[in-house]
Chain A
Amino acid sequence: MVKRKNDILLIAVIVLAAAGLWLGLRLAQNGGAYVYVTIDGSEYGKYPLDTDAEVRIGSGGKYNLLIIKDGCAQITEASCPNKLCIKQGKIKYEGQSIVCLPNKVVVEIVGGEKSQFDAVVK
């Protein structure tokens, strides 16, 4: 029967559309990872994680140098006395962060791939 054929075609189109939508949404979600920087709680800037960049956070003598390279974010230079932010190393997974208490800087990854671990103790 021709009608039954059309019915099945309709179902196939809907299932395909659902699969396409699911894939598209997943890709959009993963591509959307960015580095979110705040100073003393207020937003300083947002930088995409997939484009390499060098950002000088802060002004004058108080600063942290943020490097985004190969999908990782890292602080390589800082004006603070203890340099803990540099020792925190590279971050790349959703929810990971680098904190510099003296300069009140928080660098955080928003969106993107999740780490396989719930938490990591350093």
Chain B
Amino acid sequence: MKDKFTAREIAEYGLILALAMILSYVESLFPAFVAIPGVKLGLANIVVLFALYRLGPVRAGIVSGLRVLLVTFMFGNAFALIYSLSGAVLSLLVMLLLKKTGRFSPMGVGVGGGVAHNIGQILCAMVLLGTERLAYYLPVLLVSGAIAGTVIGLTAGMMIKRIEIGKM
């Protein structure tokens, strides 16, 4: 990573961050995805996954972190921030690992990210609420994370093929 950002890079960051934020907002408009708590599509993860492939782990981390911060400042509260951050951090780490192995396409990486996101959130909830009974909910969230991750991964894969941002 270079020390200074070029004007082009700053513009690209802005574009990608704005896209991640608007996708978070769009997702919150669909009540179907929030009917069961914790089950959601994670549309913003498309952007993070895209950034991971095109801009590298550090910049994907910056985009993901800023997105979580800004979105919870606008729509959420302090608790939502802790949940979102724990999910986002674990998700990014797992996606990075899966990508590093070189054995998975963006779809597999997305699946890992979706599942890791849900595990991170439920672990966080178990610590915050001090109850291990939430573990009963884990199987549901594993499957829903895998389904959401498949959709997200496929979409991100198409974006990585077609969009020029970050291409040298």
Contact = CB atoms under 8 A, between A and B. Distances in A.
Interface of A: 1-4, 6-7, 10-11, 14-15, 17-19, 21-22, 25, 29
21 contacts: A3-B108, A4-B105, A6-B108, A7-B107, A7-B111, A7-B153, A10-B108, A10-B112, A11-B108, A11-B150, A14-B115, A14-B146, A15-B143, A15-B146, A18-B138, A18-B139, A18-B140, A18-B143, A18-B146, A25-B139, A29-B136
Interface string B125-153: 00000000001101110110110001001
Contacts of A15: 142-143, 146
A17 B108 contact: no
Contacts of B167: none
Given A18-B142, A19-B139, A25-B136, A3 B150 contact: no
B118 to A, nearest CB: 11
B131 to A, nearest CB: 14
Interface of B: 98, 103-105, 107-108, 111-112, 115, 135-136, 138-140, 142-143, 145-146, 150, 153
B51 to A, nearest CB: 20
Contacts of B108: 3, 6-7, 10-11
Contact of B111 (A14, A18, A25): A14
B52 to A, nearest CB: 16
A19 B138 CA distance: 10
Contacts of B153: 7
Contact of B138 (A1, A3, A21): A21
A94 to B, nearest CB: 15
Nearest to B144: A18
Contacts of B111: 7, 10-11, 14
B104 A21 contact: no
Given A3-B105, A14-B111, A15-B142, 19 more contacts: A1-B105, A2-B103, A3-B108, A6-B103, A6-B104, A6-B105, A7-B104, A7-B111, A10-B112, A11-B146, A11-B150, A14-B142, A14-B145, A15-B146, A18-B138, A18-B140, A18-B143, A21-B138, A21-B139
B38 to A, nearest CB: 14
A3 B103 contact: yes
Given A14-B115, A14-B142, A15-B143, A25 B104 contact: no
A104 B108 CA distance: 61
A104 B82 CA distance: 47
